[in-house]
């Protein structure tokens, strides 16, 4: 066991910090408050991701044959920590490099890879994920969007909701149903400019650009846009979600906000208050616990071990930490939420979402109970 | 960053497993509150497992892994203080087993009935007391550790040590709490998982109910968090990490202990069921070093007080 960073990792982190410092505009924090899916951050992401790509920092963990540097997984995570900590200047494109690209590398045909991967590696495309539906949220397998086989492809009808980044998205990783059960689910890579797609942003507590609904009316999707073999979609979705669950270094942003609030409390002469010290220490423990839990999952990946339910356990701890920081700020430094600190507001909005997106926290507990603890299924009967 | 055991750690823990297997350590069959094994304690001392952190080729983290493993046994021995606090003292200047108290040397202390040295954290100094067994009174308690207290200090050698050593002992005491506590939590959770898997009510295993699954999964996440914070603290041996790990551990004890007993119903109230061998040791830790708030404040101060 070893809980420190190697010299190479420290140097890599410094390099990332330098690139961020050199390339973020002076008004970045004001822009970042609007969230990764907002118009200003999304627009900036095209500029910033190209800069990262030019410095081999956009997809460093990808294999060389796909344009990456095959750097160790820890470096990719260090990059994610630093980026999320400053408000995620990669905007929606963090999702491309975290899981859209890796899923395509694993499951897409050569033709699909040739079409979809270069825009990601160039920092030039926005993806959204068409998973949730009005009647299929946590119970994703009950989705109803229908894909009907026609000559040369599929005609898709249905509705998706809670979709992040949809306004600006060029492509959608869409789940639809061509049959019954989990086996009847399929994945279609859909051009969001296709005829029959209507996107509507839903005003939300969590900022601009993160929640949409969109409707698909007789949308034609060519058959070459179908990802994976028949009946393989659930396996692909599970793989994607495993990457998504702890892919965002939420504790890093939470720690930055906590450190900032403590500095303000010190400046106000309030840090000597033992109540504040007590609460701050407890919140700090939650944040550092989340860091260690996530590192444990990254270590698993770095060693190329199969993904386990530990990610669900880590995700739950991460959500608790994010909320603990947000609540600490509300209680002891609420002025930040009233125009005093755009980052505090941004963090509050991200924290609100952290236990809902990419599988609700309670779903993570279900998964951890069954797959990590080995507790019996709710259908078990006897005695 | 590497979360897997290295070769040394695997070898140490392998040897420890052999020792445990040889001693055939198991929960007492008769219903008792306290399960302290004099034999285990003596074997551990003789085998050198408690002195690992003194060896040049091993680390404090290696020693912490020993403490964690032994905490998972249903019987206790004086392990954590010897393995993690003891190495602060030059060899042969103090004798184990240790007992530790804050402020008042006449306070009840776990392991004092077997201790040869009592360490008293008085904040700005440390008292090192060579215990005269004739002055030790046994204290009855629900806690699963043996407890005793000194009737008086009369006739006992008391060495006064400086603030640096007092600070060091306090830091390692926090580490000891965190490491031992995470091991206790793990075995307590394992015991309850077995119970809720095999105990049927309403024609279903208790563990199939979501109300129980969620709280057990939360407990598991808490235990793992406590574990990694504790092991990181053993690796860094820093004031902030040790205080943070102890704070998290103590902060987590009430909820975990409540839930685990709750899921075992009346069975968990009996002495024939072994859960208390872990949960009541956890309860004993709750008040150590002034309780979780003291550790949280110490962590906050160590992290931020001196920061620019």
- Per-residue pLDDT tens over the stretch A80-136: 999 988 888 999 999 999 899 999 999 999 999 999 999 999 999 999 999 999 988
% of chain B surpassing 90 pLDDT:
94
Using pLDDT thresholds of 50, 70 and 90, give the confidence band for residue A379: confident
**pLDDT at res. B213:** 98
Residue A135 has what pLDDT?
86
Contact residues for B35 (Cβ-Cβ < 8 A; gap 6+): B27, B28, B74, B75, B76, B144, B277
pLDDT tens figures, A184-215: 999 999 999 999 999 999 988 887 778 899 99
Residues A150-158 have a mean pLDDT of 97
Nearest-CB residue to A284 (from B3, B209, B299): B299
pLDDT value at B141 more than 60: yes
| Residue A279 CB burial class (10 angstroms; 0-12, 13-18, ≥19) | buried
Helix residue ranges, H only, chain A: 7-23, 28-32, 39-54, 73-85, 93-95, 101-107, 110-121, 233-245, 250-267, 274-302, 310-332, 342-354, 361-367
Question: Phi-psi region for residue A217, left (φ > 0), alpha (ψ -120 to 50) or beta?
Answer: beta
- CB distance from A304 to chain B under 8 Å? no
Residue A383 scores a pLDDT above 70: no
Query: How many helical (H) and strand (E) elements, i.e. helices and strands, does chain B have?
Result: 9, 9
pLDDT at A242 over 80: no
Best residue in A265, A332, A373 to probe B by mutation, most B CBs within 10 Å? A373
Alpha-carbon distance A362 to B145, whole Å?
37
pLDDT at residue A239 greater than cutoff 90 = no
CATH assignment, B165-307: 1.20.140.10
Residues of B (210-229) whose Cβ lies below 8 Å from A? 210, 212-214, 216-218, 220-222, 224-226, 228-229
pLDDT reported for residue B233: 98
Question: Taking CB atoms and an 8 Å cut-off, how many pairs form between chains A and B?
Answer: 173
Report which of A189, A253, A281, A280 is spatially closest to residue A227, judged by C-alpha positions: A189
Pairing of strands A185-191, B117-121: unpaired
DSSP H/E element including B221: helix B210-236
pLDDT digits (tens, 9 = 90+) for B200-225: 999 999 999 999 999 999 999 999 99
| A323/A242 Cα distance (integer angstroms) | 22
State residue A244's pLDDT score. 66
Quote the pLDDT of residue B308.
42
Residue A258 pLDDT level (bands cut at 50, 70, 90): very high
Does B238 touch chain A if contact means CB atoms closer than 8 Å? no
pLDDT digits (tens, 9 = 90+) for B46-104: 999 999 999 999 999 999 999 999 999 999 999 999 999 999 999 889 999 999 999 99
Is the model's pLDDT at A140 over the cut of 90?
A: no
B228 to A5: CB separation less than 8 angstroms, yes or no: no
Mean pLDDT of chain A: 92
Which residues of chain B does A279 touch, with a Cβ-Cβ cutoff of 8 Å? 296
Residue B138 and residue B150: Cα distance in Å, rounded?
Answer: 9
Q: How far off is chain B from A58, nearest CA to CA, in Å? A: 22
Contacts B197 to A, Cβ<8 Å: 374-376
Nearest CA distance, B297 vs chain A (angstrom): 5
* Contacts for B134 with CB less than 8 Å, ≥ 6 apart: none
Q: Cα(B49)–Cα(B86) distance, rounded to whole angstroms?
A: 12
Residue B228: its chain A contacts at CB < 8 A? 289, 292-293, 295-296
Residue A269 CA from chain centroid, whole number: 38
In this prediction, residue B46 carries a pLDDT of 97
Task: From chain B, pick out residues whose CB is under 8 angstroms from the CB of A76.
Answer: none
Considering only alpha carbons, which residue of chain A is nearest residue B251?
Answer: A282
What are the phi and psi torsion angles at B89 (to 5°)?
A: -100, 145
Residues in chain B closer than 8 A to A293 (CB atoms): 221, 224-225, 228
Cβ contacts of B46 within 8 Å, gap of 6 or more = none
How far is B97 from chain A, CA to nearest CA, in Å? Answer: 28
Determine the residue among A74, A270, A285 to mutate to test chain B binding: the one whose Cβ has the most chain B Cβ atoms within 10 Å. Answer: A285
B200 touches chain A (CB under 8 A): yes
- Does the CB of A328 have a partner CB in chain B at under 8 Å? no
Nearest C-alpha of chain B: how many angstroms from A124? 33
User: What pLDDT is recorded for position A246?
Assistant: 62
A273 touches chain B (CB under 8 A): no
Tell me the two tokens of residue B263.
Answer: 């899921």
User: What ipTM is given for this predicted complex?
Assistant: 0.96
Interchain contact B202–A (C-beta under 8 A):
no
Q: What is the pLDDT of residue B307?
A: 53
Query: In degrees to the nearest 10, what's the CA dihedral of A155, A161, A166, A170?
Result: -20
Sequence spans of domains, chain B? 165-307
pLDDT value of position A245: 62
pLDDT band at B192 (very low <50, low <70, confident <90, very high): very high
Query: For strand B147-150 and strand A197-201, is the pairing parallel, antiparallel, or unpaired?
Result: unpaired
- Is 0.90 topped by the overall pTM? yes
Judging contacts by C-beta atoms under 8 Å, the chain B residues touching residue A382 are 200, 203-204
Q: By the 8 A CB rule, do A34 and A41 touch?
A: yes
Range B222-251 average pLDDT: 98
Of B6, B303, B307, the CB nearest to A284: B303
For the residues B172-177, what does the mean pLDDT come to?
Answer: 98
Q: Is B198 on the interface with A (CB under 8 A)?
A: no
Instruction: Tell me what the mean pLDDT of segment A229-251 comes to.
Output: 82
């Amino acid at each position: 066991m070893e809980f420190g960073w190697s010299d190479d990792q420290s140097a890599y982190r410094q390099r990332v910090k330098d690139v961020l410092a050199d390339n973020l505009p002076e008004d970045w924090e004001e822009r970042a408050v609007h969230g990764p899916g907002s118009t200003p951050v999304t627009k900036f992401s095209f500029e910033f991701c190209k800069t990262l790509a030019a410095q081999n920092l956009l997809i460093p963990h990808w294999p060389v044959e796909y344009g990456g540097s095959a750097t160790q997984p820890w470096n990719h995570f260090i990059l994610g920590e630093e980026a999320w900590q400053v408000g995620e200047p990669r905007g929606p494109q963090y999702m491309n490099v975290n899981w859209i690209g890796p899923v395509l590398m694993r499951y897409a045909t050569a033709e699909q890879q040739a079409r979809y991967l270069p825009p990601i590696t160039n920092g030039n495309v926005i993806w959204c994920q068409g998973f949730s539906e009005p009647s299929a949220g946590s119970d994703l397998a009950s989705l109803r969007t229908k894909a009907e086989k026609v000559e040369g492809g599929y005609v898709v009808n249905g509705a998706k909701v809670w979709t992040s980044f949809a306004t600006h998205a060029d492509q959608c990783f869409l789940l639809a149903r061509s049959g019954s059960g989990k086996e009847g689910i399929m994945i279609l890579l859909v051009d969001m400019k296709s005829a029959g797609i209507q996107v509507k942003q839903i005003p939300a507590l969590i900022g601009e650009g993160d929640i949409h609904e969109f409707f698909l009316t007789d949308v034609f999707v060519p058959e070459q846009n179908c990802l994976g073999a028949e009946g393989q979609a659930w396996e692909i979705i599970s793989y994607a979600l495993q990457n998504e669950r702890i892919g965002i270094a939420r504790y890093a942003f939470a720690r930055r906000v906590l450190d900032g609030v403590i500095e303000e409390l010190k400046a106000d002469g309030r840090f000597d208050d033992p109540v504040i010290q007590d609460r701050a220490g407890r919140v700090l423990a939650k944040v550092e616990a989340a860091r260690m839990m996530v590192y444990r999952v990254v270590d698993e990946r770095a060693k190329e071990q199969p993904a386990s339910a530990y990610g669900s356990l880590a995700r739950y701890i991460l959500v608790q930490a994010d909320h603990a920081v947000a609540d600490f700020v509300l209680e002891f430094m609420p002025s930040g939420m009233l125009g005093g600190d755009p980052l505090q507001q941004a963090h509050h909005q991200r924290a609100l979402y952290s236990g809902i997106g990419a599988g609700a926290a309670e779903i993570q507990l279900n998964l951890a109970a069954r797959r990590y603890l080995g507790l019996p299924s709710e259908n078990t009967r006897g005695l | 960053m590497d979360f897997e055991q290295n070769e040394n750690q695997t070898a140490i823990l392998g040897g420890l497993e052999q020792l445990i297997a040889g001693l055939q350590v198991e929960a007492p069959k008769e219903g008792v509150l306290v399960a302290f094994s004099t034999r285990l304690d003596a074997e551990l001392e003789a085998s050198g497992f408690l002195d690992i952190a003194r060896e040049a080729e091993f680390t404090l983290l290696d020693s912490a892994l020993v403490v964690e493993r032994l905490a998972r046994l249903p019987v206790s021995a004086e392990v954590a203080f010897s393995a993690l606090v003891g190495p602060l003292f030059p060899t042969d200047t103090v004798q184990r087993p240790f007992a530790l108290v804050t402020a008042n040397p006449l306070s009840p202390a776990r392991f004092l009935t077997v201790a040869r040295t009592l360490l008293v954290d008085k904040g700005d100094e440390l008292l090192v007391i060579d215990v005269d067994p004739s002055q030790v009174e046994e204290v009855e308690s629900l806690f699963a550790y043996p407890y005793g207290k000194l009737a008086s200090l009369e006739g006992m050698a008391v060495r006064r040590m400086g603030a640096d050593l007092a600070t060091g002992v306090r830091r390692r005491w926090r580490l000891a709490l965190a490491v031992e506590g995470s091991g206790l939590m793990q075995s307590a959770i394992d015991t309850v998982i077995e119970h809720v898997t095999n105990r049927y009510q309403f024609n279903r295993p208790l563990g199939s109910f979501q109300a129980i699954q969620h709280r057990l999964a939360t407990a598991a996440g808490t235990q793992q968090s406590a574990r990694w914070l504790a092991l990181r603290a053993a690796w860094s041996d820093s004031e902030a990490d040790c205080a943070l790990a102890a704070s998290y551990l103590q902060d987590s004890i009430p909820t975990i202990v409540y839930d685990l007993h709750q899921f075992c119903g009346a069975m968990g109230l009996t002495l024939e069921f072994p859960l208390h061998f872990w949960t009541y040791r956890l309860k004993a830790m709750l008040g150590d070093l002034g309780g979780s708030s003291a550790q949280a404040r110490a962590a906050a101060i160590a992290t931020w007080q001196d920061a620019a």
